[in-house]
Amino acid sequence: SHPDAWAAVDRYLAETLVGSDPALDATLASQDRAHLRPIEVAPVAGKLLHLLVRISRARRVLEIGTLAGYSAIWMARALPADGRLISIEAEPANAALARENVDAAGVGERVDIRIGRAADVLPGLADEAPFDLVFIDADKESNTVYLDWAARLSQPGAVIVVDNIGRSGEVANADTDDPQIQGVRGGLAMLGEDPRFDATGLQTVGVKGWDGLAIAVRV
Ligand code: SAM
């Protein structure tokens, strides 16, 4: 086992099961031109989010952390015509780029990008709730805050996904002084203890290295 082999298998799976798509490719190219770090989900994970939206028959999706709209496009494409995805992004330049990308992908009508810090935007979303699926992928330090809002803004049966829970193994280091890792650990502890959630976590390897994601159902 070696990171090169993980990436090769990931590329093979993406070629075989995911395929390529001009709008998604253009989104990644725009992200690159804007000198944003390639911290979007991997293609196989974008497809997983897409499938989770379909499997759960979600009509209202909430995303925290838009970047250039890559995962938003994946999820929006799984929504019915009257479905809606609200995605929160703190950086206005990212939000503007994402707006262009979701429009170019043909899902602009279904996607509402809210600019601001998620902790400030979330309390104002009661009128758009309940959400059927929530994808948490922003500042990891705030994961417990975002999980609390995910629970408040959803009903039993809703799906909650948290990205980046593996962190090259650092997540298992209880003594870490990295505030992002502490944030991930706090979120996982909450998913384990808070009666509003029933959850599991999976490690992943691939083009993004060694990481993972947690999936929960709102109880
Ligand atoms: N979900 C995206 C995808 O897969 O294509 C990737 C999101 S990227 C990992 C995280 C994003 O969260 C960045 O664009 C960053 O600007 C944004 N962000 C960071 N802190 C935030 C906050 N407090 N509120 C809202 N967005 C935030």
User: What span, in angstroms and rounded, lies between the C-alpha atoms of 54 and 210?
Assistant: 26
Centroid of ligand 1 to alpha carbon of 66 (angstroms): 5
Q: Mean pLDDT across the stretch 178-197?
A: 98
pLDDT for the residue 208: 95
Q: Mean pLDDT across the stretch 156-184?
A: 96
**Domain with 79 in it: what CATH number?**
3.40.50.150
Burial profile 102-114: b = 16 or more Cβ within 10 angstroms, e = fewer: bebbebbebbebb
- From the CB of 43, is ligand 1 less than 6 Å away? no
What's the mean per-residue pLDDT of the chain? 97
pLDDT for the residue 78: 98
Nearest to 99 by CA among 113, 110, 88: 113
Closest C-alpha to ligand 1, atom 4: 40
Q: Is the dihedral of CA 91, 93, 96, 97 positive or negative?
A: negative
The answer to whether the beta carbons of residues 81 and 51 sit under 8 Å apart is no
Q: Is 19 exposed, middle or buried (0-12, 13-18, 19+ CB in 10 A)?
A: exposed
Q: Mean pLDDT across the stretch 67-87?
A: 98
86-140 pLDDT tens trace: 999 999 999 999 999 999 999 999 999 999 999 999 999 999 999 999 999 999 9
User: What span, in angstroms and rounded, lies between the C-alpha atoms of 46 and 100?
Assistant: 19
The answer to whether the beta carbons of residues 161 and 136 sit under 8 Å apart is yes
Residue 1, pLDDT above cutoff 80 = no
60-74 pLDDT tens trace: 999 999 999 999 999
Q: Of all residues in the chain, what percent carry a pLDDT higher than 90?
A: 99
23-41 pLDDT tens trace: 999 999 999 999 999 999 9
Assign 158 to helix, strand or coil: strand
Confidence of residue 2 (pLDDT cuts 50, 70, 90): confident
- Region of 77 on the Ramachandran plot (φ > 0 left; ψ -120 to 50 alpha; else beta): alpha
Q: Give me the number of domains the chain comprises.
A: 1
Q: Is 11 exposed, middle or buried (0-12, 13-18, 19+ CB in 10 A)?
A: middle
- From the CB of 101, is ligand 1 less than 6 Å away? no
Among 21, 39, 47, 75, the mutation site with the greatest number of ligand 1 atoms within 8 A of its Cβ is: 39
Look up the pTM and report it: 0.98
Residue 207, domain extent: 3-218
Nearest to 191 by CA among 153, 157, 146: 146
Q: Mean pLDDT across the stretch 190-195?
A: 98
Angle at 147 between CA 180 and CA 40, to 5 degrees: 55
